[in-house]
Amino acid sequence: MLIRPATPDDVPSMRVLEQQTETAAHWAEREYDALFAADAPPRIALVATSEADAGRVVGFVIARCATAEWEIENVVVAREERNRGVGIKIIRELLLRAQSAGATSVLLEVRESNLAARRLYEKLGFSQQGRRSNYYHQPEEDALLLCFSITNLRQFGLEAE
Ligand SMILES: CC(C)(COP(=O)(O)OP(=O)(O)OC[C@H]1O[C@@H](n2cnc3c(N)ncnc32)[C@H](O)[C@@H]1OP(=O)(O)O)[C@@H](O)C(=O)NCCC(=O)NCCS
């Protein structure tokens, strides 16, 4: 599996993955296209691709990276590729890039009932910083606000190889 920055050619594959995933954040096509616009808010988008399957996109992560506090906005792994470490690898790569860019922390919100995502973030060393009541709709649910402190990269064995 290869992890690399997304290109405009990856957008259709990213949209398919997102649309197949109920717990993903759902964006309009123009929001994906804006990832690559010169005047867009600073974001990073990484894709995981399968070398065994002609470079098929099997996962992606998108984060805002305007300040010292990066924010993960979306992360999706293809259903048939889950539980094989893709999620860990792609977020680990994002954390390393945040470190290289001088960020101090990476934040995100997650549905309280999304146990798979919570387990993934917990394993990476994210910790709960707060709760946003009724943050999500359809269905209504609280969001947990999680934070990863970049100083923890070494502690969790995530320093650059
Ligand atoms: C959350 C998600 C990205 C995880 O990706 P993944 O590639 O399956 O994760 P990994 O294989 O790297 O697993 C990482 C850890 O999470 C755990 N995990 C993964 N799926 C799980 C599940 N369904 N239930 C419980 N734990 C789970 C794994 O067990 C693993 O920990 P372990 O080594 O102790 O077993 C994936 O399930 C997904 O795309 N979900 C839908 C989109 C979504 O909810 N995004 C998050 C929005 S905040």
The pLDDT value recorded for residue 53 is: 87
23 vs 14: CA distance, rounded Å: 14
Percent of the chain's residues with pLDDT above 70: 96
Nearest CA to ligand 1 atom 22: 116
Nearest CA to ligand 1 atom 34: 123
CB of 125 sitting under 6 A from ligand 1: no
User: Position of tokens 């259903």?
Assistant: 79
Question: Taking Cα atoms as reference points, which of 122, 136, 5 lies closest to residue 61?
Answer: 5
Q: How far is the CA of 101 from the centre of ligand 1 (A)?
A: 26
CB of 84 sitting under 6 A from ligand 1: yes
Residue 36 near residue 82 (C-beta atoms within 8 A)? no
Work out the average pLDDT over 21-26.
90
CB of 152 sitting under 6 A from ligand 1: no
Work out the average pLDDT over 24-50.
93
Nearest CA to ligand 1 atom 4: 87
Nearest CA to ligand 1 atom 10: 85
User: Taking 90 as the threshold, does the pLDDT of residue 160 lie above it?
Assistant: no
5 vs 48: CA distance, rounded Å: 9
Lowest model confidence (mean pLDDT) among 10-19, 59-68, 118-127, 146-155: 146-155
CB of 23 sitting under 6 A from ligand 1: yes
Dmax (CA) of the chain: 43
Burial 82-94 (b: 16+ CB within 10 A, else e): eeeebbebbbbbb
90 vs 76: CA distance, rounded Å: 10
Looking from the CA of 142 toward its CB, the CA atoms found within 13 Å total: 9
User: Taking 90 as the threshold, does the pLDDT of residue 85 lie above it?
Assistant: yes
Nearest CA to ligand 1 atom 36: 77
Residue 125: helix, strand or coil by DSSP? coil
CB of 91 sitting under 6 A from ligand 1: no
18 vs 60: CA distance, rounded Å: 9
84 vs 71: CA distance, rounded Å: 24
The pLDDT value recorded for residue 135 is: 95
User: pLDDT band at 40, cuts 50/70/90?
Assistant: confident
User: pLDDT band at 159, cuts 50/70/90?
Assistant: low
Quick one: tokens of 100? Answer: 């290289």
User: Taking 80 as the threshold, does the pLDDT of residue 158 lie above it?
Assistant: no
120-157 pLDDT tens trace: 999 999 999 999 999 999 899 999 999 999 999 877 66
Q: Which residue did the predictor score with more confidence, 69 or 53? A: 69
